Amino acid sequence: MTFKTIALDIEAGVARLTLNRPDKLNSFTTEMHAELRTALNSIQNDPSVRVLVLTGAGRAFSAGQDLGDECMQAQEGRMPDIGNVIEQFYKPLVMQLANLRVPTLAAVNGIAAGAGMSVALACDLVIATRSASFLQAFTRIGLMPDTGSTWFLPQRVGMARAMGLAMLADKLPAETAAEWGLIWQCVDDAAFASTVATTAERLAKAPTKALVRTRQSMQASLSHSLEQQLSLEASYIRELGWSPDYAEGVSAFAAKREPQFGGK
């Protein structure tokens, strides 16, 4: 597939999806959203893919929505319906990531601002360079956080820090983001590429269904009672206990060898 605003490369089970508008700090446009939908659908339907790595080209992960895009322009003298932009583009994007059949890794190579930060947080794991930063830029233009940030932030850093990040719109260094538990890991810029590659390889070789059920269980726990969560765990464990990957895992453990999971 040929894209104008993104790039997709699939090799050895790793799908690397790159936001590719470096001159515009990889800000989102209507065209980019359409291409992302196509790429994520392709990944969802490709059995060879075992993990998605989402990153940005150039010096940014993403600066968020491109305010110059057609969807943000006034029509016949009326301000655009920005809520419709969320419903039509960002909600489907976040839900595609949340429901992808493989684990997702955001490789944040630079600034992740506004919806760019939200999209990174929609991934299962986030690894960032030490020079990267995160910014809830919404109040700087008279808006509030969207694209899931009002859901992600309180969960990960608590209400006090979530409110501070959202209301004050201060830039958060990647190192602090890792210390707060907002992201999984912050690494030196020189080690970033190798760390992302190694992590992606580990995820690609892991029991894919077990990883996705782990994601789904963690998400469900936010609205479940303990009893409900225990029942959900039993249901998922029952399913995974009949899987080829579980059989392989037990066999490898007994033989004291590394398991060769097939993602099934």
Instruction: Indicate the residue among 204, 222, 243 that finishes a domain.
Output: 204
Task: Give a yes or no: residue 50 inside a domain.
Answer: yes
50 & 141 share domain: yes
Residue 148: the pLDDT is: 97
Task: Give a yes or no: residue 263 inside a domain.
Answer: no
58 & 38 share domain: yes
49 & 135 share domain: yes
55/18 Cα distance (integer angstroms)? 5
144 & 114 share domain: yes
Give pTM, 2 decimals: 0.94
176 & 195 share domain: yes
Task: Give a yes or no: residue 151 inside a domain.
Answer: yes
Task: Give a yes or no: residue 89 inside a domain.
Answer: yes
| pLDDT 10s digits, 36-80 | 999 999 999 999 999 999 999 999 999 999 988 888 787 777 888
230 & 131 share domain: no
Task: Give a yes or no: residue 163 inside a domain.
Answer: yes
Report the run of H or E that residue 181 belongs to, with start and end. Answer: none
pLDDT < 50 stretches in the chain: none
Residue 69: the pLDDT is: 82
Residue 224: the pLDDT is: 96
Residue 72: the pLDDT is: 78
Task: Give a yes or no: residue 183 inside a domain.
Answer: yes
Residue 201: the pLDDT is: 97
81 & 180 share domain: yes
Residue 103: the pLDDT is: 98
Of 19, 12, 98, 86, the residue nearest 59 (C-alpha):
19
Of 117, 125, 130, the residue nearest 169 (C-alpha):
117
Can you read off the two tokens belonging to residue 44?
A: 């969802």
- The three-class DSSP label of residue 85 is helix
Can you read off the two tokens belonging to residue 260?
A: 């060769």
84: CATH: 3.90.226.10
Task: Give a yes or no: residue 261 inside a domain.
Answer: no
Domain housing 188: 6-204
135 & 244 share domain: no
| pLDDT 10s digits, 204-233 | 999 999 999 999 999 999 999 999 999 999
117 & 180 share domain: yes
111 & 232 share domain: no
Task: Give a yes or no: residue 262 inside a domain.
Answer: no
Residue 241: the pLDDT is: 96
94 & 186 share domain: yes
Domain tally, the chain? 2
| Rg from Cα positions in the chain | 19
186 & 238 share domain: no
Amino acid of residue 12: A
Which residue is listed with tokens 């943000």?
A: 72
